[in-house]
Chains A and B, each alone.
Chain A
Amino acid sequence: MASDHITADMVEGSEFPFLVVKYNVSGVPHSVINEKHSIVGAQSDLEFASAILKAIGK
């Protein structure tokens, strides 16, 4: 909601196993930014925001 550029999906791993395999998920929550950068585990809002910026090269 905070940014027009960001879209976010919450995905039930058990219903979409192909994604679990695709992103090599072994623990949840497992977040993936732009289909490439993975973050495992719960993060604070700020840590997540930083990860997003890092993923887009900022």
Chain B
Amino acid sequence: MGLLKEKDREKVKKVFEEIEKDVKIVMFTQETECQQCEMTRKLLEEISGLSDKLSLEVHDFVSEAGLAKNYGVDKIPAIVLIGERDYGLHFYGLPSGFEINVLIGDIIDVGKRNPELSKEVTAELAKVDRPVHIQVLVSPT
């Protein structure tokens, strides 16, 4: 039995039909996995299997520290979504509860290569000319 319920897997498979381009899901864990890392990895394995446009790469945070640094990953479990480039989009921790929807939604946005922001917001963001690091702390509900 997977982590997702059968009917949820079906739902996700259906919405993944909107994905147009390849999405690479990169995950960082470590050899002696803590529960969160193991769960996250299993979840990603399940999710990436629901669309042939998704691929999953699992890396070790400790032995591949250089790679982790390149992706800007500083804690685990970490999920990075890559489209035609690294957007700097990271998920830290197991996205359970409602958060799973954010991960799925972001995978779709990356897969459509379109974050679906309004013209106004896009215009505002174009004014950003230096590094901005946003961290959104959430808790699984």
Contact = CB atoms under 8 A, between A and B. Distances in A.
* A and B directly contacting (CB within 8 A): yes
Interface of A: 1-3, 5-16, 19-20, 23, 25, 28-35, 45-46, 49-50, 52-53, 55-56, 58
B88 A7 contact: yes
Contacts, number: 146
Contacts of B114: 1
Contacts of B95: 10, 12
Specify the main secondary structure of chain B where it touches its partner.
mixed
A10 B136 contact: yes
A24 to B, nearest CB: 11
Given A12-B94, A16-B92, A52 B134 contact: yes
Nearest to B76: A15
A49 to B, nearest CB: 4
Contacts of B72: 7
A55 B120 CA distance: 18
Interface stretch (B14-22, B24-32, B51-59, B123-131): B123-131
Given A49-B124, A53-B128, A33 B134 contact: yes
Contacts of A13: 137-139
A48 to B, nearest CB: 8
A40 B52 CA distance: 38
13 contacts: A1-B109, A2-B125, A6-B131, A8-B90, A9-B135, A12-B94, A12-B139, A13-B137, A19-B137, A29-B138, A34-B132, A50-B124, A52-B132
Contacts of B91: 9-10
B92 A11 contact: yes
B49 interface: no
Given A5-B128, A10-B102, A52-B128, A15 B36 contact: yes
